């Protein structure tokens, strides 16, 4: 989930906790109050994510892990503002800065890194893939997870991303496909680790295939869009609902919500 200094932030985490949540992955996002025009601006953005995580830990007792990285949708904006080559340099520097924060144990994963989920021209697409490859290489060197934001994951996209991870030295099983469709079997997702949106239908579909997945809300903490993408209490509520209806066992819940995140992100 994402939290925003100008959103509900800790209050949203409290809602998650009161519904039964115990731990979360807090992922950085572009903050309106910190517009990124340079590597230094991105660092300020990442530091804000770390600060939000500390505030949540202090006030809720939740286990909070942190992922930092320049969102791939920032590249087109920067390219329009400063030119593609300068934008690519800034984005690559931001990925390296995020990696340094992981190395310093201020964060536990890189993310969201990747490529735009909307059509862009060939030059932007190539640059996005170069930045993604650099990020995957850094994650491999640091032995940390990478959370990928990309276009919709088709079989071809899964195969492409898995090949990129392997080439960069990043294990696919520690490469998380954010906003993944419920494609759980390794022969179908090419070994990437799917993070499935916890909405109705997708969670059930994933369970029917196995337990090798995680669930997310992609909560963006935007006061103009309350509850988007899914509200902070969604996962504990959905888990308890599925359990009460006999669609999820206690063992499956522990694998999905505890064992899998620990395998991917560490304890």
Residue 1 domain flag: no
Residue 37 domain flag: yes
Helices within 104-147 (DSSP H only) = 122-142
Query: Residue 35: which CATH number?
Result: 3.20.20.140
Average pLDDT of the chain, as a whole number: 97
pLDDT of residue 200: 86
Average pLDDT over residues 3-18: 98
pLDDT of residue 191: 98
pLDDT tens digits, 33-59:
999 999 999 999 999 999 999 999 999
CA triple 177-151-134, angle to 5 deg = 65
Could you tell me the residue range of the domain that residue 231 belongs to?
Answer: 10-265
Q: How far apart are CA 155 and CA 160, in angstroms?
A: 9
Residue 55 domain flag: yes
With H, G, I as helix, E, B as strand and everything else as coil, classify residue 25.
strand
Find the radius of gyration of the CA atoms of the chain. 18
Number of domains in the chain: 1
């Amino acid at each position: 989930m994402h939290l925003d200094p100008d959103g509900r932030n800790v209050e949203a985490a409290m809602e998650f906790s009161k519904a039964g949540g115990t731990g979360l992955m807090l992922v950085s996002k572009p903050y309106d109050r910190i517009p990124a025009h340079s590597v230094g601006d991105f660092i300020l953005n990442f530091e804000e994510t770390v600060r939000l995580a500390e505030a949540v830990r202090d006030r809720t007792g939740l286990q909070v892990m942190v992922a930092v990285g320049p969102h791939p949708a920032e590249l087109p904006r920067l390219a329009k503002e400063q030119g593609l080559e300068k934008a690519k340099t800034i984005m690559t520097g931001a990925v390296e800065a995020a990696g340094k924060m992981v190395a310093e144990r201020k964060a536990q994963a890189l993310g969201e890194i990747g490529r735009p989920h909307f059509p862009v021209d060939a030059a932007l697409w190539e640059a996005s893939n170069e930045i993604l490859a650099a990020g995957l290489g850094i994650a491999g060197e640091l032995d940390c997870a990478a959370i990928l934001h990309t276009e919709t994951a088709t079989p071809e996209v899964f195969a492409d991303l898995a090949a990129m991870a392997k080439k960069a030295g990043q294990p696919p099983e520690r490469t998380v496909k954010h906003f993944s469709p419920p494609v759980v079997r390794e022969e179908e997702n090419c070994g990437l680790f799917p993070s499935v949106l916890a909405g109705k239908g997708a969670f059930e579909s994933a369970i029917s295939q196995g337990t090798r997945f995680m669930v997310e809300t992609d909560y963006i903490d935007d006061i103009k869009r309350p509850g988007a993408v899914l509200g902070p209490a969604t996962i504990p509520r959905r888990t308890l609902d599925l359990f009460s209806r006999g669609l999820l066992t206690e063992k499956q819940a522990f694998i999905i919500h505890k064992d899998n995140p620990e395998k991917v992100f560490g304890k």
